């Protein structure tokens, strides 16, 4: 029992010191305020630098995108020229095929007409010979 009384006595004596240590306020000095101000100024300066870099990168990216768009337009124009050339080739080939087939049919008709005349002559000669 004596030991518990001694321990509680020591705690009661030291309790105001413990409470005072916990309640001790941290002093805020002018140096701390100046440090905070300098830190805010540095952060603002960094924001300005970052904004400047971002604006520079944005303009550079826009210039590159415009260059790429011009290249795509040039490629698109080249494809249009290629398609026009292919349509011309297809038109020429179609005209050639139509003319070849037309000539073949015309020649066939022309050669058959002379053969029909000869056949008619042969028939009439055979008829006369048969009489």
Residues 80-103 have a mean pLDDT of 95
pTM, full prediction: 0.44
- Tell me what pLDDT residue 19 has: 64
Residues 79-98 have a mean pLDDT of 95
Compute the distance between CA of residue 131 and CA of residue 126 in angstroms, rounded to an integer.
Answer: 9
Looking at per-residue confidence, does 84 or 109 come out higher? 84
Residues 71-77 have a mean pLDDT of 92
Domain extent listing, the chain: 33-130
Residue 85's closest CA among 74, 93, 95, 96? Answer: 93
């Amino acid at each position: 029992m004596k030991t518990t009384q001694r321990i509680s006595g020591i705690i009661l004596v030291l309790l105001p010191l413990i409470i005072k240590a916990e309640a001790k306020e941290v002093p805020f000095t002018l140096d701390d305020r100046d440090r905070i101000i300098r830190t805010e100024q540095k952060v603002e300066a960094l924001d300005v630098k970052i904004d400047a870099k971002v604006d520079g990168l944005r303009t550079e990216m826009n210039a590159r995108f415009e260059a790429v768009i011009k290249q795509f337009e040039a490629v698109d124009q080249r494809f249009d020229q290629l398609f026009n050339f292919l349509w011309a080739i297809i038109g020429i080939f179609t005209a050639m095929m139509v003319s070849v087939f037309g000539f073949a049919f015309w020649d066939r008709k022309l050669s058959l007409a002379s053969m029909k005349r000869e056949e008619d002559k042969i028939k009439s000669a055979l008829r006369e010979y048969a009489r």
